[in-house]
């Protein structure tokens, strides 16, 4: 999570949406850069609402800070987690996906009792608006990097050069029609939210 105090903007770090690269590019220019532990670096909206927003409003006497977040197309997002857990450092770890097909990974993700290797959370829950009205002010698609870059350069008044960081191995992944159909039904809120995000890039 990155806080740009003068610009009144907090960049929430949704896992597997390229936030490591954005952190490398922008952390030196942020007022606060929360890079560890993961529970704070990847603080979802409900945690921001509970801990950080009250700090800004009470200690810093302002309620004008806006939030920004990025959401990835749901199947692509799951594919990124699947590839990440096949990286060499995952060898021998219980959450590795070396011996699991992508179909099996996604099928496990949909189970009520999700096994550890497929327990990767939910973008929709990460971004879910709070009962007090707190919601993400600026939500971008991961696939709309041009729109996100344009917004941040204008808001932060700087030119941004984005590095490639924390990139999972390239791999052709395709879900079987039956698994994809079930995923779209079971996790409809993920697809509905992503579909509702406008594309702002050229």
Query: Residue 71 forms beta bridges with which residues?
Result: 141
Q: What is the pTM of this model?
A: 0.92
Helix 177-186 to helix 102-109 angle (10° resolution) is: 20
* CB-CB contact of 175 with 106 (8 Å): yes
Structure tokens given for 135: 């919601």
Question: Percentage of the chain with pLDDT > 70?
Answer: 96
pLDDT band at 164 (very low <50, low <70, confident <90, very high): confident
Average pLDDT score, the chain: 92
Supply the pLDDT for residue 89.
Answer: 86
Give the pLDDT confidence of 89-141 residue by residue, as tens digits: 888 888 999 999 999 999 999 999 999 999 999 999 999 999 988 899 999 99
Map residue 35 onto helix, strand or coil: coil
Supply the pLDDT for residue 73.
Answer: 98
Supply the pLDDT for residue 2.
Answer: 96
Q: How far is CA 142 from the centre of its chain?
A: 8
Supply the pLDDT for residue 202.
Answer: 61
Supply the pLDDT for residue 169.
Answer: 61
| Residue 164 DSSP label | -
Give the pLDDT confidence of 23-62 residue by residue, as tens digits: 999 999 999 999 988 889 999 999 999 999 888 888 777 6
Supply the pLDDT for residue 165.
Answer: 65
| CA nearest neighbour of 151 among 138, 161, 141 | 138
Bridging pattern class, strands 32-33 and 2-4: antiparallel
What is the 3-state composition of the chain as percent helix, strand, coil, each rounded to the nearest 5? 45, 10, 45
The burial class, CB within 10 Å (0-12 / 13-18 / 19+), for 162 is middle
Distances from the Cα of 8 to the Cαs of 3, 5, 17, 62, in angstroms? Answer: 8, 5, 22, 9
Supply the pLDDT for residue 201.
Answer: 72
């Amino acid at each position: 999570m990155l806080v740009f105090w003068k610009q009144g903007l907090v960049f929430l770090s949704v896992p597997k949406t390229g936030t490591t690269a954005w952190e490398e590019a922008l952390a030196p220019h942020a007022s606060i850069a929360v890079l560890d532990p993961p529970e704070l670096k990847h603080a979802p909206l409900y945690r921001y609402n509970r801990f950080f927003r009250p700090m800004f409003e009470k200690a810093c006497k302002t309620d004008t800070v806006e939030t920004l977040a990025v959401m990835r197309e749901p199947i692509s997002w799951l594919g990124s987690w699947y590839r990440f857990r096949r990286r060499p450092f995952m060898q021998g770890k219980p959450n590795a996906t070396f011996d699991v097909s992508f179909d099996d990974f996604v099928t496990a993700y949909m189970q009520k009792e999700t096994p550890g290797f497929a327990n990767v959370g939910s973008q929709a829950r990460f971004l879910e608006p709070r009962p007090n009205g707190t919601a993400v002010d600026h939500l971008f698609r991961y696939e709309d990097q041009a729109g996100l870059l344009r917004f941040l350069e204008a808001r932060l008044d700087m030119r941004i050069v984005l590095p490639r960081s924390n990139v999972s191995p390239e791999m052709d992944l395709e879900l079987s029609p039956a698994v994809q159909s079930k995923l779209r039904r079971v996790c409809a809120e993920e697809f509905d939210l992503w579909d509702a995000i406008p594309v702002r890039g050229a």
